[in-house]
């Protein structure tokens, strides 16, 4: 009788010891795993996506301009580089068509310099295995200095490009800079027959970030806080496109 009680106690102790040893292994492992997971950013709808950003113009090609100092190519590059960081932070891989003040034409080739520059951007996009393509520009309109605000263009026959354009436009329509000066800038996404949209294979958009012909846009587009907000809202539009296409209208 006493012997069997001892055996039971011994067995119980053994069981506790086994459980304690297993826990001793698992608890530190779980802790290390949790701290590791903290260091790796959580997955987002952009994780693993490949995105080409094309800051329009560059080098000898200033794009549009206001006076001698406000050049479209500079604004495009600044916004493009901020956008690159914003999109990378969401876990996407970004390819830039340019990251400095250069044009992409090869002078040795035949044909116009402008066309060669566009061809190089198209080639880079079509060989990058990209999920989407974003070209960044700034606008100018003669005889309508009151027209303002960002406008997003897509190539007509691509349903996905249309969805992407509408999603980005929807986000850009909420830019805070206009409200602060007591005005509004709201547009719909537009069809645009641009080489860069027509000849690139992935769904893509051309974002005209504002009008250099408009005084409010000119001031805003040179402000870093406004450039940051544009990049943030484009990224928000991309996330909506990949995650909730049904919310786009």
- E-strand stretches of 43-114: 50-55, 65-66, 70-71, 93-96
Distances in whole angstroms, Cα of residue 204 to Cα of each of 167, 194, 195, 238, 241 = 12, 11, 12, 11, 12
CB of 136 to Zn ion, least distance (A): 9
Residue count, binding to Zn ion (CB under 5 A) = 3
CB of 53 to Zn ion, least distance (A): 14
Identity of the residue, 92 or 104, whose beta carbon is nearer to Zn ion in the bound complex: 104
Identity of the residue, 124 or 138, whose beta carbon is nearer to Zn ion in the bound complex: 138
Of 129-148, binders to Zn ion (CB under 5 A) are: 137
Find the angle CA(162)-CA(42)-CA(33) to the nearest 5 degrees: 160
Distant-in-sequence, close-in-space partners of 49: CB < 8 Å, separation ≥ 6: 91, 92, 93, 131, 132, 242
Of 29-68, binders to Zn ion (CB under 5 A) are: 56, 63
> Which residue's CB atom is positioned nearest to Zn ion?
137
Identity of the residue, 192 or 237, whose beta carbon is nearer to Zn ion in the bound complex: 192
Distant-in-sequence, close-in-space partners of 35: CB < 8 Å, separation ≥ 6: none
CB of 49 to Zn ion, least distance (A): 25
CB of 82 to Zn ion, least distance (A): 18
Helix (H) or strand (E) holding 151: strand 151-154
Identity of the residue, 56 or 80, whose beta carbon is nearer to Zn ion in the bound complex: 56
Identity of the residue, 42 or 67, whose beta carbon is nearer to Zn ion in the bound complex: 67
Helix (H) or strand (E) holding 239: helix 224-243
CB of 210 to Zn ion, least distance (A): 12
Binding site for Zn ion (CB under 5 A): 56, 63, 137
């Amino acid at each position: 009788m006493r012997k069997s009680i001892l055996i039971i106690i011994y067995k119980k102790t053994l069981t506790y010891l086994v459980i304690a040893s297993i826990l001793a292994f698992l608890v530190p492992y779980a802790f290390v795993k949790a701290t590791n997971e903290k260091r790796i950013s959580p997955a987002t709808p952009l994780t693993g996506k490949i995105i080409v950003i094309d800051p329009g113009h560059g080098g000898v090609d200033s794009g549009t301009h206001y006076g001698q100092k406000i050049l479209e190519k500079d604004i495009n590059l600044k916004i493009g580089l901020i956008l690159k960081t914003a999109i990378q932070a969401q876990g996407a891989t970004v390819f830039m068509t340019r990251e400095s003040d250069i044009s992409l034409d090869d002078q040795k080739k035949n044909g116009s310099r402008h066309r060669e520059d566009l061809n190089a951007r198209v080639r880079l996009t079509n060989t990058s295995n990209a999920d989407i393509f974003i070209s960044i520009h700034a606008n100018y309109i003669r005889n309508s200095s009151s027209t303002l605000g960002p406008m997003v263009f897509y190539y007509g026959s691509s349903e996905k490009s249309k969805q992407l354009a509408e999603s980005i436009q929807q986000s850009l329509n909420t830019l805070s800079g206009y409200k602060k000066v007591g005005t509004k800038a709201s547009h719909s996404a537009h069809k645009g027959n641009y080489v860069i949209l027509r000849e690139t294979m992935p769904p893509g958009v051309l974002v005209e970030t504002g009008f250099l012909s408009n005084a409010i846009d000119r001031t805003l587009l040179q402000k870093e806080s406004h450039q940051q907000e544009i990049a943030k809202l484009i990224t928000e539009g991309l996330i909506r496109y990949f995650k909730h296409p049904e919310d786009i209208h």
